[in-house]
Amino acid sequence: MGEQSASARLINQLQEAHSVVDKASHALSLARLGDRQAIDSLVDLTSPDRTIFERSCAMKALGALAEPSPLPWHAQVSVNSNYLLPLSIQGEIAGSF
Q: Tell me how far apart the alpha carbons of residues 49 and 46 are, in angstroms, rounded to a whole number.
A: 8
Checking if the pLDDT of 9 tops 80, the result is yes
Residue 49 lies in a domain: yes
Residue 58 lies in a domain: yes
Per-residue pLDDT of 58-72, as tens digits, reads 999 999 888 777 766
Global confidence as pTM = 0.64
Q: Which of 48, 57, 65 is nearest to 24 (CA)?
A: 57
Checking if the pLDDT of 22 tops 80, the result is yes
Which CATH number goes with the domain that contains 39? Answer: 1.25.10.10
Confidence of residue 16 (pLDDT cuts 50, 70, 90): very high
94 or 36: which carries more pLDDT confidence?
36
Checking if the pLDDT of 36 tops 90, the result is no
